[in-house]
Structure 1
Amino acid sequence: MAPTTDGARNALNSYLGRVNYTFKGRYNLTATLRADGSSRFAPGHQWGYFPSVGVSWNVNEEAFLQDNKVIDDLKLRASLGTVGNQEIGDYLFLDTYNTVNYSFNNSIVKGYVKGNRPNSNLAWETTESYNVGLDFGLLKHRLGGSIDAYYKNTNNLLLNVPTERTSGYASILKNAGSVINKGLELELRGDIISRKHLSWTLSGNIARNINEVAKAEEVYSGATVLRKGVPFGAFYGLVFDGIVQDAAEAAAAPVPTRNKETGTSVLPGDVRYVDQPDANGVKDNQIDLDHDRVVLGSPHPDFIYGFSTSLRYRDLTLFAAFQGSQGNELYNALRRTLETPDPRYNGVASLNDRWTPENHSNTVPKAVIKAVTDLDSRYIEDASFLKLKTLSLTYVLPFRIEKAPTTRFRVFATASNLLTFTKYKGYDPEVASGTDNGVYPTSRTFTFGVNISY
């Protein structure tokens, strides 16, 4: 094999200016201007300018709250600003070339092929954000929390957009639209019991985010679609309508266009999909990807939440933390692969319930020599979950070393990712990408130890 070499260089040149001002310990102002120049963008688009300003008011410092016996802390906050994103590869705005091996005159020779479709207009992705918030502490700090409302508009999204195959490329990196995120966040914490030998604290948070593509050219990418008016990364595919059971159902079932191209018909045991009506409400009794795919779900939850508690009795402390997500979907790509019979690997147990002339399953189709599947609603699953993330028990040993009286011995046992409550059929519903491509589940760990402090 011929030797190869590779190398890359990028530069980020930044300037930052900041002004802080406080008046009477009650009114605060922070103003920032940042300028960033990145070599990853095309000439003429390399510099981005990102201003921000934040103000706050310590209301509890005002005279009308000085003697208040309920409110200990009260702060109002507001901010607005812009940040930039340049996390892409190097040289993507240029023509680049890759080396490939060719067979020529019975010998392997090196050749060159274009590796990237250039984009001379590639520029910064920017996010404008607006936030208002309230922080508070009540009843001698026994109860506290914060409330935040925000609005974020991300413009010039950096996305790989599929392009026509005749160009010689599969995709091109472009600034391809804008996405809006808006929502509310609430956090509460409290000391329920606070005594010398007994204490109990609780804290919790919940957040609701609404995500929507505000502007974009329509882009289909794998299992997702980029489309104005739907969430970013929304899943896109056919709607599963059961399994064809007999000849009568086969004759009435919509025929996939690929079947018509090969001259085959729908048979008992095949998957049946929903034939979507056109703009006039008319169905054509055939299934094609251009007209019958619909939005199947969103990877964005309706809300996320978490809560924790700590209970102490004398020298023994029990701590537990939970984390949850509600209302999001996940594409179970591994399940789709394993439920498609293939002699190269083992299938899953659900294939035992596949359709046969004796077993009229309505969930798993018949086994065929060469299966062709389209993404459908079976594999877009509810990924809501509640996890016991941490459970810890700690005990401070009741003895002291005479010559080092401040030394403390603490023994502890901690379990992480101990329990997961979910209807999701894959390994782990806590997948950030929205697509489970066979990722391993989060490890369950148990830790035991002794901590010595002095």
Structure 2
Amino acid sequence: MQRDKTELYNNQVQGVPSETQQFYNLGDANSILAIGSNYSQWTINSYLGRINYDFNNKYLLTLTLRRDGSSRFGVNSKYGNFPGVAAGWNLSNEPFLSNIRWIDQLKLRAGWGKVGNQGVAPYQTQGILARTSYAFGDASAFGYRPTAIGNPDLRWESSATANIGLDFSFWKGRLQGSLELYETNTTNLLLSDQLPGSIGFSAVTRNVGHTRNRGIELGFTTVNINAASSFRWTTDVQFTKNKEAIVSLYNGAVDDIGNRWFIGQPLNSFYDYKKDGIWQLGEEEAAQSYNSRVGQIKVHDKNGDGVITGDDRVLIGSDVPDFSAGLTNRISFKNIDLSFFFFGRFGHTIVSGFHQDNNALAGRYQQIKVDYWTPQNPTNEFPQPKSTQEFPVYNTTLIYYDGTFIKLRNVNLGYTLKSGWADKLGMESLRIYASVQQPKIWSEYRTKYNGVDPETSGTEVDSGITPATTVFTFGINAKF
């Protein structure tokens, strides 16, 4: 059981007669500006049961049942039941594989389980009142009005995950790892369902909607060299691919353009006008028909009606990558050890706040080199600067980039002194090492993004303005 209680009191005054009184005698102040207080409490209690079954180390079964109750939900549905089942089959222990010596371990596993989410603020199920002022005859008066609609049927959001995996080890551990396929369906989402403003309320918290995640995860380790000369080289590889999609919302399989939620697309999708390039010399008439001019942004006319309106916005992309991958190499020879780790994300879109705040401006600040359009440089990258215009028309089309990158995340080099040297120094062991974090980023081989750090860019225009930090570390590990 867990309980959280928050009590808040605040007083704001002006003109305390003596500084030493601090807040111990606020009533002596010349003016009492504000007095306020607040209280919030929520409780959750859970029951968990689990049964494990193992037959001859071949067939494995796990059954779980969790029951959670939260005070945040309505009186009709405070509790939710979340079962789970997992099964494993050690194929390598079967007689028909016992004679295959190069197989160390081969285990097939599958599972299904459900978990809950109580991610709403306390009292969302209750009708809430707020103080308001109104006219009472010729004078003003104070009263209370409802500010939120209660929902006594609000219940747990649930995510059900099914997965199937394979764990393996071959050639006495020279190759070992796991492969997993999964699908997660989240239903009864805790969302603010939109309401007509004419009823006096804009939204009510309800269980609506359905999202889905499907993916694959692969990780394995290889022992490339393990020589008698004490030279050893191993490699770790990680690969993940996830496809995220909204299945339904408030009214079923209907897009919510206001929140930029689209059926079949990830939750964070970018919906905006698309830049087709820059209006070039010889396109004066075409540019004028769109109320633009040569050197300015040419916006994609989605429906071809000759007018740019909100209906011409398109899905630019999302922050969900096509896949992510990591590669770690570890090399050791006698007393020397070296490791380096690469990480990359591929095929996602980023919003570059750096370009929103700097390069989209008319060359006003000191900044990175920008490929502006001029009659002598008929580029399709950035519009011609204009002294009478701070931001170009449709400047948001300039901030979307392919966020693909590869980083050399860290490099570590160490040397462990021989035991004889350590003994002379009165130590059990002594290792000297140096490391560098994030020394190199490759982000231009697939994209023209020339910002700060593609990994810090995200879904908002104020992201992408934090530069990558390279950290050098030198140290000694001494054991006495």
The interval holding the TM-score normalised by the smaller chain is: 0.7 to 0.9
CA separation of 1:124/1:348 partners in 2, compared to 1, >3 Å: closer, same or farther? farther
2: distance between equivalents of 1:328 and 1:116? 38
Match in the other structure for 2:454: 429
Larger radius of gyration: 2
1:208 matches 2:245: no
2: distance between equivalents of 1:175 and 1:46? 13
Give the deviation of 1:67 after TM superposition.
Answer: 3.8
Letter in 1 for 2:269: A
2: distance between equivalents of 1:304 and 1:133? 19
Match in the other structure for 1:249: 286
Give the deviation of 1:211 after TM superposition.
Answer: 1.9
1:125 matches 2:157: yes
SS in 2 for 1:64: helix
CA separation of 1:306/1:330 partners in 2, compared to 1, >3 Å: closer, same or farther? same
**2:271 equivalent among 209, 216, 236:** 236
2: distance between equivalents of 1:185 and 1:158? 28
**Worse overlay, 4-13 or 322-331:** 4-13
Total equivalences in the alignment: 427
Tell me, yes or no, if the aligned pair for 1:157 and 1:175 is still in contact at 8 Å.
Answer: yes
1:325-340 matches, cutoff 5 A: 325-340=345-360
Give the deviation of 1:242 after TM superposition.
Answer: 2.9
Letter in 2 for 1:226: W
Match in the other structure for 2:416: 396
Identity among equivalent pairs (%) = 31
Match in the other structure for 1:260: none
SS in 1 for 2:124: coil
Give the deviation of 1:201 after TM superposition.
Answer: 0.6
SS in 1 for 2:383: coil
CA separation of 1:167/1:391 partners in 2, compared to 1, >3 Å: closer, same or farther? farther
2: distance between equivalents of 1:315 and 1:25? 40
Match in the other structure for 2:261: 226
**Worse overlay, 65-74 or 323-332:** 65-74
Tell me, yes or no, if the aligned pair for 2:361 and 2:392 is still in contact at 8 Å.
Answer: no
Match in the other structure for 1:106: none
1: distance between equivalents of 2:370 and 2:346? 32
Letter in 1 for 2:261: L
Match in the other structure for 1:256: none
Match in the other structure for 2:169: 137
CA separation of 1:135/1:446 partners in 2, compared to 1, >3 Å: closer, same or farther? same
1: distance between equivalents of 2:379 and 2:151? 51
2: distance between equivalents of 1:270 and 1:166? 42
Give the deviation of 1:266 after TM superposition.
Answer: 3.6
1:85 matches 2:117: yes
TM-score, structure 1 length as denominator? Answer: 0.82
**1:59 equivalent among 91, 94, 98:** 91
- Unaligned runs of 5+ residues in structure 2 are 1-32, 134-140
CA separation of 1:371/1:396 partners in 2, compared to 1, >3 Å: closer, same or farther? closer
Letter in 1 for 2:469: S
1:452 matches 2:471: no
Give the deviation of 1:183 after TM superposition.
Answer: 1.9
Residues 233-270 of structure 1: CA deviation (Å, up to 9, x unaligned) = 221111213334564233332xxxxxxxxxxx444554
Match in the other structure for 2:405: 385
1:165-204 matches, cutoff 5 A: 173-196=205-228, 197-204=230-237
Tell me, yes or no, if the aligned pair for 1:238 and 1:375 is still in contact at 8 Å.
Answer: no
**Worse overlay, 34-43 or 60-69:** 60-69
2: distance between equivalents of 1:117 and 1:270? 48
Match in the other structure for 1:261: none
Match in the other structure for 1:33: 65
Give the deviation of 1:218 after TM superposition.
Answer: 2.2
**Worse overlay, 55-64 or 351-360:** 351-360
TM-score, structure 2 length as denominator? Answer: 0.78
